[in-house]
Amino acid sequence: MRYFNTTGICYPKKHYMVDISNRLADIERRVDKGEYITINRGRQYGKTTTLYHLTNKLMENYVVFSISFEAMGETEFKTEDTLSYYFLERLRAETKFAKNINDYVKNAICNIVDQNADECQIKFSLLEDFISDICVKSDKPIVLIIDEVDSASNYESFIKLLRMLRSKYLKSEQIATFQSVILAGVYGIKNLKLKVRPDSDHQYNSPWNIAVSYTADMSLPTDGINQMLQEYESDHHTGMDTAAIAQMITDYTSGYPFFVSRVCQLIDEQSLTWNKVGIINAVKILLREKNTFFDEIFDSMNNYSSMKTVIEMLLNGQYLTFNCYAKGLDIASTFNIISDDKGQAKIANKIFENRFKNYFDFEKSISTNTAIQTQG
């Protein structure tokens, strides 16, 4: 029996999920045109699930290397030579799963990694030519997908890798390179903040201005939620009005994937009713619970004082024109906490609105009590 999933990748055979085939087809068209793409969305917004199913779809016509930087750190990014090695090491792991990959490409990747395994370094200057070599010898065009690129944002070696890939893209008529490169994470790759000096000064770099930002709506539409609930109903026969329930879920979540799945999961697992009362009770539980999603959201808010200020202003009813160059608005938008509503900045959904309101009301209460005690 399938179930609602809020952790990791969603699989249609295991989980109830909204159909994303239109989204995949849209990205595939961009890959066919040779576009380099960035996909930036908030936490648990469906990025990794999208990349997984996109990889399977692209494998019909391409050799796809889909890797993640999530587990990489100081060791892997220490120098451009170490990054070259660990980058190719991850490609090697993918050769076990990639379709359409011929023996030459597979052996070339395996051999260069094996030959340099003792030092865990490969000259960065060799990587550019190596990429061209495997792209020339491959029977199918090669697509590179990298998830969790935020993990690399503070490393100069990663910036050099991006610059090298950018240079190859600009010369792609003369030099063989990847058909497409797709980078996914929370933060915009065009504005990576790179720590380049020991005095902790920062500079902003734009080594990826060749890429097209994927701006299509990745929130879950009401009709998609309805379709998912219809599948659940055919299995469980609850008697729910799927269309009405889908609309109520949208009203609370605005289609934020994690919230949609979590509300459904709570109703299912806690045997709540599939009606308005059940949704309200599920939302109440969600607003009270402590989970990794809210942990990350509140950590981010407390790390970015300008974002915290913007959220508090909006909760207080202040009108703010949406401006992607205003730091607080930009960061809050990056996390999909606020949205652009016809030029006006608004809290993205009712769940965020209520959770933040509870947080600021508590902070205000603590502050007031402290002041009273001090005066006393």
Residue 223 has a pLDDT of 98
Residue 204 has a pLDDT of 47
Domain map (residue ranges) of the chain: 21-213, 222-288, 292-375
The sign of the dihedral angle between the CA atoms of 94, 95, 96, 102 is positive
Give the SS3 label for residue 145. Answer: strand
**What is the CATH architecture of 21-213?**
3-Layer(aba) Sandwich (3.40)
Residue numbers of the chain with a pLDDT score lower than 50: 194-204
Contact yes or no for 249/224 (Cβ under 8 A): no
CATH 1.10.10 for domain 292-375, yes or no, is yes
Residue 284 has a pLDDT of 97
pLDDT digits (tens, 9 = 90+) for 212-224: 889 999 999 999 9
Q: Within 10 A of 277 (CB to CB), how many other CB atoms are there? A: 10
Pairing of strands 212-213, 37-40: parallel
Contacts of 317 (CB under 8 A, 6+ apart): none
What residue type is 50 in one-letter code? T
Cα 113 to chain centroid distance, Å, stands at 29
Residue 186 has a pLDDT of 86
* Phi, psi values for residue 225, rounded to 5°: -65, -40
Residue 190 has a pLDDT of 54
Calpha distance 51→62 (Å, rounded): 15
> How much is the pTM?
0.90
pLDDT digits (tens, 9 = 90+) for 50-97: 999 999 999 999 999 999 998 888 899 999 999 999 999 999 999 998
